[in-house]
Amino acid sequence: LRGQLANPGFRERAPESVVERAREQLGEAELQAESLRRRLGDPA
């Protein structure tokens, strides 16, 4: 997802709804990753 969103071609050509959904999915994935890191005691 980060790769897609970092790609200017994707952001320019994809429908806005697709780009927005990718942003939402990335945000959700980052929250899940942070939660798992806290559970495991990994501060990074």
Of 26 and 1, the structure prediction assigns the larger pLDDT to: 26
**pLDDT category of residue 13 using cuts at 50, 70 and 90:** very high
Closest CA to 33 of 20, 21, 42, 24: 42
The model's pTM is 0.76
pLDDT given at position 43: 62
pLDDT tens digits for 17-35?
999 999 999 999 999 999 9
pLDDT at 9: 95
Q: Provide the pLDDT for residue 18.
A: 97
Please answer whether residues 26 and 40 qualify as being in contact, where contact means their C-beta atoms are separated by less than 8 angstroms: no
